[in-house]
Each structure stands twice: as structure tokens, then as C-alpha cells.
Amino acid sequence: MSPERPLGRFERWTLLLFVAVVLGLLAGEVATDYRPAKLGGLFVLLFWIPLLAVHEAGHAVAAVLCGWSVRRVVIGYGRLVAVWRVRGVPVELRAFPVEGFVSIAPRRLRRPRLESALIYFAGPGTELVLGAAVLAIVGPATLLAGSTDPLVIAAQSLCAAVLVGSFSNLVPHPSRRDDTGGFTPNDGLGILRSFLLPVEHWEAMLDPD
């Protein structure tokens, strides 16, 4: 089946039921022989999709600030679950929100290599800024110490998810996440490639609008 065909109503309800069952099983595992430390894994999973949205929003905002056009923002991969528009840009939620991408194009060739590198970095960079804000609010001593306070554990889990996501995105490697299912660079590899690609690459990307 084509990933472009949206999920039908029955399929959406099936997906929601599956997610609810998985989260219910995880919550049940946490409740069984409950220890506050068991909340950490559940919080990391709950934070993953919001952090993915923050990550892709970072790319999109950086592209706009650099004067590039943003064609669409995709959160996840697989079949389309929902789509909405933010300032005219389509934002797609896919069935498996594990990774995502932002489709962009330069409007003029001024500093395309530097601008491309900044746009690639903006995704994990935005997550790191969020993690730094949580660190500043909670305090390093509290954040790095063991705790039974669910709010502190949530903050620790958020920062752990930020570090894992940022590290996996900044360590250069190819990632299967483009429109055609081919291999494209992750953020770290994209930053490096930005300074090595020929001018013809950027000329071919120019947005005619």
C-alpha cells in the first residue's frame, strides 16, 4: 500500500487502540511492584513525540529565519494519520512517529552552505536548548541526584530523552527518511555535507517562487 494513502477511520481507531494498549501495558508494569525509578522509561516514551515535534519545528523555524522556503514538515513515517497547516505549511503526522524531516529549499544563493548547516543543527540544537532550560530551572544538583519525586523524575527523563535524541542526530550517519524511501543524511552528516556539496547542488534546489 502507498504510504501516501491516508489511514481510514477504522485504521485510525485501530492505531489509537494499539497505542492505548501499549501505554496501558507499560503503565501496568510501572504499577506492579511500584518504584518511582520505574517511571523514567515511561516518561521517556511519552516525551519522545513532543520532542520530535520540537526538533522538526527547530529545522523549520531556522529555515524561515535563513530566508528558505519550507514546503512541508513530516513527523514520523509510514501512512498518513493527519495533516494540518501552520502558516500555510502542511504538517503531516505519520503512523510511526519515530523520526521526521522538513522539506526545504533556498530562495537565493547567498551563503547556502552555512545556512544549510545551521538549519541541520537547529533541530538537535532546539532540543538541547530545551534541556538546558530544564537544567537551569530544576538545578544540576537536583537533576543529577536520585529522587522519588515524580516531577523531578519527569525532568530527568526529559533531559535523558534530549541527550539520546541529540546524540543520535549529531553523530553522522545516513538515515532512511526521505520522500522516496532512500537514504538521506541525518543532521550530523548533513552539517558536514553542507560544506562539501558543489554550488550546482544548491542551484538545483532553488525555489522558483
- Higher pLDDT residue, 127 or 37? 127
Amino acid identity of residue 170, one-letter, is L
pLDDT value at 123 more than 90: yes
pLDDT reported for residue 11: 75
What does pTM read for this prediction?
Answer: 0.86
Torsion, CA 8, CA 10, CA 15, CA 20, rounded to 10: 150
Average pLDDT of the segment spanning 81-108: 91
Average pLDDT of the segment spanning 180-184: 61
pLDDT value at 35 more than 80: no
First to last CA, the chain: 33
| CB-based contact 45:26 (threshold 8 Å) | yes
Confidence of residue 1 (pLDDT cuts 50, 70, 90): very low
pLDDT reported for residue 182: 57
Cα 140 to chain center, whole Å?
25
Confidence of residue 3 (pLDDT cuts 50, 70, 90): low
Average pLDDT of the segment spanning 11-37: 77
